[in-house]
Amino acid sequence: MGRTALAVLGIALVAVPVAEAKFRLRMVLSDGHPTVGQRVDVKLHANPVQPRTASLRLLAIPPGIGLYGALAEESRYAVPVRREGQGWRATVRFRRPGSWRLVVPNWGAPGYAIPPPIVRIVRVTRA
């Protein structure tokens, strides 16, 4: 087999599980226009409902930080997400005003999806 054929086969083997893992995601915020320091509940819903073992990650990326920079330092921007009922829930407090991005970087599997399944801009104002 030639190198091209092996490369195509390798990509196909990697892409098939990823394609099967995709599902519709929806993000709901308790307040879409928060102020600095305000507690905002984030709910994530999947359709179809995912198994209890599925997990999602959530990043709160402050103004001035790029998506790829945040992914490289994921632990710095990670928001704890817990399973609740048939979805997931998290709580975010924005530390400063500006346009923050709430990002779900994956489909519940290790690694990252490009583009991410959810990128939500949240404009945070002073109290």
Task: Tell me if 3 is assigned to some domain.
Answer: no
Look at the block and give the residue holding tokens 């054929």.
Answer: 5
Task: Answer whether residue 11 is part of any domain.
Answer: no
User: What pTM was computed for the model?
Assistant: 0.80
DSSP readout, the chain? Answer: --HHHHHHHHHHHHHHHHHHH--EEEEEES-SS-BTT-EEEEEEEEESPPPTT----EEEEPTT--HHHHHHTHHHHEE-EEEETTEEEEEEE--SSEEEEEEE-SSSSSS--SS-SEEEEEEEB--
List the domain range (segments joined by +) for residue 54. 25-124
Please report, for the domain that includes residue 118, its CATH number.
2.60.40.1930
The reply to whether 85 falls in a domain is yes
Structure token digits, residue 40? 């905002």
**Counted domains in the chain:** 1
Query: Tens digit of pLDDT for each residue in 47-88?
Result: 988 888 888 999 999 999 999 999 999 999 999 999 999 899
Confidence band for 3, pLDDT divided at 50, 70 and 90: low
Report whether 81 contacts 57 (CB < 8 A).
yes
Q: What is the mean pLDDT of residues 92-108?
A: 95
- Whether 10 is covered by a domain: the verdict is no
